[in-house]
């Protein structure tokens, strides 16, 4: 499939992405580098935390999931990211978890002021190997149109 433009996207179109595996070493390395809260970056402190072990940073989870979302939706004429919306983390991501991202297009609309582009919302639900939701969030992209309206 070639490059897709805003007109090629369909409201509600679904795709499944993944898997994304998390291991202890990766969680600790990301935590130490980018989100050094004790339950992300220090095994001993994490054991004493409310989680009882290290957990992945929400930033780590979202970054890893973004990779598989971009791979799954294919080559789209994205001009820019506009926002990451309503991030929720109902359950922690733990070492050994394997995640799948369920995504769908939501809120597609053409720009009123610049008819050569459109807005494409993407809603994502991330589930672990048990089918439990560990994260929900959305993106909004600015996407080129094939032709002005």
Q: Residue 135 sits in a domain of what CATH number?
A: 3.10.129.10
Answer for the pair 88, 135: CB distance below 8 angstroms, yes or no. yes
Query: Residue 78: inside a domain, yes or no?
Result: yes
Query: Residue 105: inside a domain, yes or no?
Result: yes
17 has which bridge partners?
A: 101
Query: Residue 15: inside a domain, yes or no?
Result: yes
pTM of the entire predicted model? 0.91
Query: Residue 72: inside a domain, yes or no?
Result: yes
The per-residue pLDDT for range 111-122, each reduced to its tens digit, is 999 989 999 999
Q: Which residue has the tokens 């897709």?
A: 4
Domain of 118 in residue numbering reads as 6-144
Residue 1: pLDDT over 70: no
Query: Residue 1: inside a domain, yes or no?
Result: no
The per-residue pLDDT for range 27-83, each reduced to its tens digit, is 999 999 999 999 999 999 999 999 999 999 999 999 999 999 999 988 999 999 999
Domain count, the chain: 1
Helix, strand or coil, per DSSP, at residue 13: coil
Give one DSSP letter per residue of 30-95, joined into a string.
HHHHH---HHHH-HHHHHHSTTSS----HHHHHHHHHHHHHHHH-SB-EEEEEEEEEEE-SS---T
Query: Residue 149: inside a domain, yes or no?
Result: no
């Amino acid at each position: 499939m070639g490059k897709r433009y805003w007109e090629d996207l369909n409201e509600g179109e679904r795709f499944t992405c993944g898997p994304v595996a998390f291991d202890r070493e990766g969680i600790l390395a990301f935590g130490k580098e980018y989100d050094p809260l004790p339950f992300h970056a220090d095994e001993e402190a994490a054991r004493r935390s409310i989680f009882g072990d290290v957990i992945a940073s929400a930033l780590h989870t979202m970054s890893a999931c973004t990779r598989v979302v971009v791979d799954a939706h294919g080559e789209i004429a994205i001009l820019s990211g506009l926002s990451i919306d309503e991030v929720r983390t109902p359950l922690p991501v733990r070492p050994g978890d394997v995640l799948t991202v369920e995504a769908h297009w939501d809120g597609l609309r053409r720009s009123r002021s610049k008819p050569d582009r459109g807005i494409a919302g993407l809603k994502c639900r991330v589930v672990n190997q048990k089918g439990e939701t560990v994260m929900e969030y959305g993106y909004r992209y600015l996407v080129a149109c094939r032709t002005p309206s």
